[in-house]
Structure 1
Amino acid sequence: MIFDMTITPGEVTASLMILVMVFVFVRALGSKGRKQVSLPGPWSFPILGNLLQLGDLPFLTFIEMRKKYGDIFLIKLGMVPVVVVNGMEMVKQVLLKDGEHFAGRPNMHTFSFFAEGKSLSFSVNYGESWKLHKKIASNALRTFSKAEAKSSTCSCLLEEHVIEEVSELVKVFAKLTSENGSFEPRSAITCAVANVVCALCFGKRYDHSDEEFLKIVKTNDDLLKASSAANPADFIPCFRYLPLQIINAPREFYQALNQFIALHVRDHLTTYDKDHIRDITDALINTCHNKYATTKTATLNDAEIISTVNDLFGAGFETVSTCLYWTFLYLIQYPEIQIKIQEEIDRNIGLKPPRFEDRKILPYTEAFINEIFRHASFVPFTIPHCTTKDTTLNGYFIPRKTCIFINMYQVNHDETIWDNPSLFSPERFLNKNRELNKSLVDKVLIFGMGIRKCLGEDVARNEIFIFITTILQQLNLKKCPGAELDLTPRYGLAMKPKPYQLLAEPRFGSSES
């Protein structure tokens, strides 16, 4: 017998309306007697909330709302109340002073895809187990990203991997220019940075044309794009039961990435030798086996090791590759700044390969990097936070499990902190002695702050420094004659610039030397 399974558009619409009505009814019953957020904010539509008001760049919309409602205000994204936090003082209150009160993650549908909600970055549960998880991951990362001062020539594994990959990138840039005249640099940048992460996590690098490597880089990119898109199931929970691509795509991409990483981690579990720690994965296994094996303290199981490597892998090259993609755009937009950086490199380093320790003798270069972080603000928000208990903020009551958005872009463009914030000027970070103003550097928000601050900030800063200084030591970057460059970002978890072309010409003869 054959059954007709055809579903008409009218049936889909009717089913959806019934589902929404049932959910609203259940939600209304459940909200009786529950403490509510009491904050100023814009009027919102039923069901949709303020979703239609956000525009293409929500962080700019929130800056406009701040003018009317103040540093903290309430919006509704779908049916979820969200407290938006602006202003350095309020951000410090949330992330530092009362950090424990705001250290949770909201129970979003998208977050549940990542290691079934147990990912270090996206875990909803904040407590002793999470703190131990973070400590183990931090120690493993530190093991391979810090140099041991045994001799003047000693460097860390991370530094060696970065130097190797940026040397390859110089050759790729020069080759692409000689063959094509100009090129779009994003793919080459992403492959180089991804290789650093692969070497650090798995002790392995890939050729830029390797099919497996390119596939996993694309999968990670697809995952980030899918996660960056507004997932209706995050804010209108009844949508999570609908078989729609926009809702379930992040899970599919995450599972594909997880399979790649799980394969490498399981291989490490099989070949692990406590006397020969090869990379971060071995370091995680070693820490779990040795330090906590004889205690009753909870530690990471194999699945959690996989999810930790997954966190480090994904975050490890997205922030750095996005920053470099912006950096090369700014360098060809402001060639006079590029010349100043090259003059500082020539004067203080010469032709020797740049090292992490050279950051302290290249203050203008450091100022430039911090101005990229501030001006581009390519990570406009922290990952959403959530209150872990009933609390107050600026005199307003905020109940437990309230979703919190931190507008880092606003802080980075706050006129009370930055003189003429729309102007791109690395000099703002230098004092009268042309030294780096570290107190001003601390006001730049890109990695977050406090309990949930990005673990890889030091790694990212060191890596970005080596890529920029090595590229500019050996190459002149130029825009195509007559090209108009656009610094308007494309919104996402990490905002990218619009595609652009550049030329890379060797400064001192052939780049192969």
Structure 2
Amino acid sequence: MFCVIKSAAQKVPSAPMLPLVISVKQKLGLVWSSGALWKEQRTFASTTLRKFGFGKRCLQTQIMEEVDCLMEKLEKFGSKPFDIQDTLNASVSNVICSFLFGKRFEYEDSTFKRLITLLHNLFTTTNVSSPVVIFPVLRFLPMFKVTTIRKIVNDIYEFIKEKIEEHRQNFDESNINDFIDAFLLEQTKKVENSTFTDEQLIITIKEFFAAGTETTSTTLRWALLFLIHHPDWQTKLQRDIDEVIGQGHPTMEHKDQLPSVEAFTLEVQRLANVTPHAAPHAPTEDFYYKGYFIPKGTFMIISLDSVMNDPNIFPEPHKFNPERFLNDRGVCGGEQKDKLLPFSAGRRVCLGESLAKMELFLFLTRFLQKFRIKPENPDCVPPLEGTLGLTNFPKSYNLILLKR
């Protein structure tokens, strides 16, 4: 694996010492748990995801319904410049909300809008590369906004608790509609020392909600920005989509017929590198890595930049070149595609990978069908510069969507 250890000399601090998990109970959820709890909860989550359609093409109907709601909303902006961030966040979030809570929210729902804002603030305020991660004593300095992060996380938890209580009051074990219902059903089994606790449920939902909203939405915002910077590719993709689909609804059956769309998406994922740091790891035993002694329990952050920008894998890594993923026959694949790791790798690979891939294809294809994406000012195109928080997100920018 082409990852490097970015920080490997620090024992894992207790949860309250890390702003990343400032209000998370230690060793709960899926990201920060390990051992038997992680195995049981990971298996349950994976099984439940598949039960509700993850990895199955039947899920595309639900996604396309949300995409159509988004397109209807975007058409109301006419040809006026606007920042798509909030609207796009809400639309993408509704997909994961349907799975978690069994419902979508209206874009103008005040509670939902506040939740989306809180989530975005959490991702932009928290930085896994912050010195406070390495030197926890710095958490007392106001510049690191630990109090702000704690408040954001607590507010998100309160929203989740309300939804869990609503489900508990209306629970019917013969009618399991979403992830919360499935979890509550496990709680009815009354197993001794069960890992299916309310705290585990709250933290798992927060992790799913955060990952299922921010990462996909941010990738799509990067994609729109790259389309603005590369109008030749925008023209090519729209021509290919018109020939294969026309103005009909895109489906996952069309994906293999549109290798240019997949190649473009892969290059966006590579260059934008939305999650440059994989989930934190800690070895269970002492070991050596390239001559370095890594003690048991060491807090490690794996840098995926070492893969995404490796010139031995991706020649001219800083050049935007989707054609690197297309072979001589125009088919998307090959070694470079196989070695791309936007969802990390190994046993802790992103559980929502199949959903994210489906969303990226269906959202992006519909965007290109419906609109020509233009900058607010052709003489001052927004920069392709990211800001690193929990994710690498583009600076705020306005765009114009001209209906085709």
Fold match (TM-score > 0.5) = yes
Q: Measure how far apart 1:457 and its partner are.
A: 1.0
Q: Distance in 2 between matches of 1:352 and 1:503?
A: 23
Shift of 1:296: 5.8
Q: Superposition pairs for residues 423-434 of structure 1, below 5 Å?
A: 423-434=319-330
**1:81 to 2:9 alignment:** yes
Matched, 1:116 2:25: yes
In 2, distance between residues paired with 1:105 and 1:435?
47
CA 493–243 in structure 1, closer or farther in 2 if over 3 Å, else same: closer
**1:253 and 2:162 equivalent?**
no
Contact 1:348 1:361 in 2 (8 A): yes
Q: Which has the higher contact order (CA 8 A, sep 6+)?
A: 2
- SS for the counterpart of 1:177 is coil
Do structure 1's residue 492 and structure 2's residue 392 form an aligned pair? no
Alignment correspondent of 2:84: 185
Cα root mean square deviation, aligned:
2.7
| Partner amino acid, structure 2, of 1:136 | F
Match of 2:181 in 1: 282
C-alpha change, 1:432 and 1:459, in structure 2 (3 Å) is same
CA deviation after TM superposition for structure 1 residue 243, in Å: 8.0
Q: Helix, strand or coil for the counterpart of 2:25?
A: helix
1:172 matched to which residue of 2?
73
Cα 1:147–1:397 change in 2 (3 A) is: closer
SS at match of 1:116: coil
| C-alpha distance in structure 1 between counterparts of 2:314 and 2:283, whole Å | 30
Distance 1:368 1:331 in 2: 9
Instruction: Specify the alignment match of 2:102 in structure 1.
Output: 203
Alpha-carbon distance in 2 for matches of 1:147, 1:121: 19
Partner residue in 2 for 1:363: 259
Counterpart pick for 1:376 among 269, 272, 275: 272
Q: Taking structure 1 as reference, are residues 446 and 497 closer, same or farther at Cα in structure 2, changes over 3 Å only?
A: same
Counterpart residue type for residue 53 of structure 2: S
Match of 1:142 among 50, 57, 64: 50
Question: Closer, same or farther in 2 for the Cα pair 1:503/1:282, shift >3 Å?
Answer: same
Say if 1:447 and 1:234 are closer, same or farther in 2 by CA, change over 3 A. Answer: same
Give the number of equivalent residue pairs.
Answer: 401
Matched residues, percent identical? 32
Offset from partner CA, 1:77-103 (integer Å, 9 cap, x none):
xxx8269xxxxxxxxxxxxxxxxxxxx
1:472-506 superposed Cα distances (whole Å, 9 cap, x missing partner)? 11211122332323101112221111222211122
1:205–1:74 distance in 2 versus 1, CA, 3 Å = closer
Deviation track 1:162-199 (CA, whole Å, cap 9, x = no partner) reads 21221122222222134xx2112112111111222222
By how many angstroms is 1:217 displaced?
0.8
Q: For residue 384 of structure 1, report the CA deviation from its aligned partner.
A: 2.7
Q: CA deviation at 1:297?
A: 7.6
Report how far residue 234 of structure 1 moved: 3.1
State the match for 1:437 in structure 2: 333
The 1:243/1:345 distance shift into structure 2, 3 A limit, reads: closer
Greater Cα offset, 476-485 or 495-504: 476-485
Partner letter of residue 127 of structure 1?
Answer: G
* Greater radius of gyration (CA): 1
Number of the residue aligned with 2:207: 311
**Of 365, 385, 388, which aligns to 2:284?**
388
Unaligned runs of 5+ in 1: 1-69, 84-103, 149-154, 508-513
| 1:331-367, Cα deviation, whole Å (9 max, x unpaired) | 1111111122112222222222112332222211111
Question: Aligned partners of 1:267 and 1:73: how far apart in 2?
Answer: 43
2:355 is the counterpart of 1:459? yes
Relative distance call for 1:330 and 1:112 in structure 2 (3 A) is closer
| Contact 2:124–2:391 (8 Å) recurs in 1 | no
- Pairing of 1:16-31 with structure 2 (within 5 A): none
Counterpart contact for 2:30–2:38, Cα < 8 Å: no
Give the match for residue 407 of structure 1.
303
Q: Which of 501, 505, 508 is equivalent to 2:398?
A: 501
Residue 332 in structure 1 maps to residue 241 in structure 2:
no
Alpha-carbon distance in 2 for matches of 1:71, 1:195: 33
On the 8 A contact 1:110/1:250 being kept in 2, the answer is: yes
Whole-angstrom distance in 2 between the partners of 1:380 and 1:265: 32
Contact 1:231 1:247 in 2 (8 A): no
SS at match of 2:9: strand
Could you report, residue by residue, the CA deviation over 1:10-59 in whole angstroms, capped at 9, with x for unpaired residues?
A: xxxxxxxxxxxxxxxxxxxxxxxxxxxxxxxxxxxxxxxxxxxxxxxxxx
Shift of 1:403: 2.2
Q: In the alignment, which residue of structure 1 is the partner of 2:380? A: 483
Where does residue 420 of structure 1 map in the other structure?
316
Q: Deviations over 1:424-464 (max 9, x none)?
A: 11111111111111532221122111122111111111111
1:147 Cα shift? 7.0
Residues 325, 332 of structure 2: 8 Å contact kept: yes
CA distance, structure 2, for counterparts of residue 72 and residue 420 of structure 1: 20
One-letter identity of the residue aligned with 1:192: S
Q: 1: distance between equivalents of 2:187 and 2:219?
A: 36
C-alpha displacement at 1:112, in angstroms? 4.1
1:131 maps to what in 2? 39
CA distance in structure 2 between the partners assigned to 1:175 and 1:484 by the alignment: 23
Structure 1 equivalent of residue 135 of structure 2: 236
Query: How far apart are 1:236 and its partner, in Å?
Result: 2.6
CA 1:384–1:328 in structure 2 vs 1: closer, same or farther (change >3 Å)? same
> Is the contact made by 1:74 and 1:82 (CA closer than 8 Å) also made in structure 2?
no
Distance in 2, matches of 1:82 and 1:330, equals 38
Q: 1:166 and 1:71 mapped to 2: Cα distance?
A: 35
In structure 2, distance between residues paired with 1:483 and 1:242: 38
The aligned amino acid for 1:128 is A
